[in-house]
Amino acid sequence: MEHICNINDIEHESAREYQKDGQPVLVAKFDGQVHAYLNWCPHLGIELNFMPDEFMDSDSQFIMCANHGALFEVETGNCLSGPCSGDKLIPVPLEVRGEEIWLGEVPQPA
Ligand code: FES
C-alpha cells in the first residue's frame, strides 16, 4: 500500500485525483467516508473529468462523467444513469490509517 494523501486534503462531498501505479485514481470523501476508484468511465474508457479535481455533479450527490453526464453512486461506483447505466466504476483498495489515506494496487481497466 502507498500513502497517497490525508483525509483533510479532500473537501467533504468532493473528490481529488492522484496518480498511483501510473494510473489516474480519484479519491472521494462523501457522507464521512472515503472511496477510491480508477478515473476511467466504463462508457468509453476515458477519464471522467475535464477540470482538475472536478468529479461531482452540481448537487455534490454523485460522481459525474463530464463527457456524457453519467452519474455514479459515490459509495458503490454503480452507474445510476447515463450511457453506461448498470455498469460501475472500478474500485481501488483503500485503507484509512488515522488521518492518512493509503491505496493498494490499482486494477487494470477491463
Ligand atoms: S465517457 Fe463517460 S458517460 Fe460517456
pLDDT tens, residue by residue, 15-31: 999 999 999 999 999 99
pLDDT tens, residue by residue, 61-77: 999 999 999 999 999 99
- Ligand 1 center–CA 40 separation, angstroms: 9
Q: Give CA torsion, residues 56, 61, 62, 64, to 10 deg.
A: -40
- Residue from 43, 50, 80 whose mutation best tests the ligand 1 pocket (most atoms within 8 A of CB): 43
**Three-class SS state of 8:** helix
96 lines ligand 1 (CB under 6 A): no
Mean pLDDT calculated for residue range 87-99: 98
- Report the mean per-residue pLDDT for the chain: 97
Percent of the chain with pLDDT over 70: 99
Q: Which pLDDT score is estimated for 108? A: 85
81 lines ligand 1 (CB under 6 A): no
Domains of the chain are: 2-103 (2.102.10.10)
Q: Which pLDDT score is estimated for 109? A: 79
Integer Cα distance of 97 and 67 in angstroms: 34
42 lines ligand 1 (CB under 6 A): no
Mean pLDDT calculated for residue range 49-56: 98
Atom of ligand 1 nearest to the CA of 83: 3
Q: Is 51 exposed, middle or buried (0-12, 13-18, 19+ CB in 10 A)?
A: exposed
Report the nearest-CA residue for atom 4 of ligand 1. Answer: 68
